[in-house]
């Protein structure tokens, strides 16, 4: 007999091709599944809540796995951390959930943080963990532009051309821009996101922050329903999946 465990994971996305297994390099999923197979002695698939891209980080990714009943959540957490110690991946917590609970399909919300460092000098300690934006950014107009995007919209202008979602309609529950020390942080929350949606939004907000665009330009780009109306895409290294919520 088996039972289902939810694990909350943080990782540095820099060394990985992303969350999901791929043929062109090592993924976070691959590292965790290899550890789980060593623990259980057999195949042990792990399903993540979000398919973060190469270079994207997480502090609150959630995944599930089914393990034999003799392994409780605490043992699973300890074993996975021991077996993945050579990689920048940590299981922060683990708990048992009902058998029908699903890390991806049961999720009711996801939150992302995007970190921008707007200064001329490059980062040393946070290299690869922030978007080094060499021009200053004005936050108030960025926030005004962000407010144009909150709510349910057709986000065609902010989805990747290779996005496989059936519909471009999404409801953005929160899009907030704030200054934290030297950095500019963009917070985004929704039930689900389109491929590259957050990075495309941040890239457009940065145009507003530098004065190249106005908040009205962002509203016009949204109405255009055309990806070419809302370039550019912010780089992956500033993006973090910070939280996934569930109804249980």
Q: How far apart are CA 239 and CA 171, in angstroms?
A: 20
Q: Of the candidates 107, 120, 125, 104, which has an alpha carbon nearest to the alpha carbon of residue 191?
A: 107
Are 197 and 158 contacting, i.e. CB atoms less than 8 angstroms apart? yes
Q: Of the candidates 194, 181, 192, which has an alpha carbon nearest to the alpha carbon of residue 222?
A: 194
Q: How far apart are CA 56 and CA 73, in angstroms?
A: 27
Q: How far apart are CA 31 and CA 193, in angstroms?
A: 25
Number of Cβ within 10 Å of residue 201's Cβ equals: 28
How many Cα atoms occupy the beta-carbon half-sphere of 244 within 13 Å? 26
Q: Please give the backbone phi and psi of residue 192, each rounded to the nearest 5 degrees, phi first.
A: -155, 160
Q: How far apart are CA 132 and CA 120, in angstroms?
A: 8
Q: Of the candidates 223, 231, 239, 170, which has an alpha carbon nearest to the alpha carbon of residue 204?
A: 231
H or E element that contains 139:
helix 139-147
Residue 240: left if φ>0, alpha if ψ -120 to 50, beta else—which one? beta
Q: Is 154 a catalytic residue?
A: no
Given 12, 43, 53, 72, which residue is catalytic?
53
Active site residues: 53
């Amino acid at each position: 007999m088996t039972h289902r465990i939810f694990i909350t994971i943080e990782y540095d996305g820099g060394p990985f091709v992303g969350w999901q297994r791929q043929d062109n390099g090592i993924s976070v999923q691959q590292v965790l599944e290899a550890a789980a197979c060593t623990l259980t002695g057999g195949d042990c698939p792990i399903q993540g809540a979000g398919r973060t891209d190469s270079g994207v980080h997480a502090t609150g990714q959630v995944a599930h796995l089914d393990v034999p009943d003799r392994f409780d959540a605490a043992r699973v957490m300890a074993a996975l951390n021991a077996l993945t110690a050579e990689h920048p991946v940590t299981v922060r917590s683990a708990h048992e959930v009902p058998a029908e609970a699903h890390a991806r399909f049961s999720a009711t919300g996801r939150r992302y943080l995007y970190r921008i460092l707007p200064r001329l000098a490059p980062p040393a300690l946070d290299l690869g963990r922030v978007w080094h934006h060499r021009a200053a950014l004005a936050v108030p107009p960025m926030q005004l532009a962000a407010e144009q995007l909150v709510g349910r919209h057709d986000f065609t202008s902010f989805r990747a051309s290779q996005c496989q979602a059936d519909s471009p309609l999404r409801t953005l529950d929160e899009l907030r821009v704030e200054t934290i020390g030297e950095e500019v942080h963009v917070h985004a929350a929704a039930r689900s996101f389109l491929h590259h949606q957050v990075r495309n939004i941040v890239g457009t907000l940065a145009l507003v922050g530098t004065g190249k665009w106005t908040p009205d330009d962002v509203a016009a780009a949204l109405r255009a329903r055309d990806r070419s109306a809302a370039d550019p895409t912010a780089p992956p290294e500033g993006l973090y999946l910070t939280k996934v919520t569930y109804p249980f």
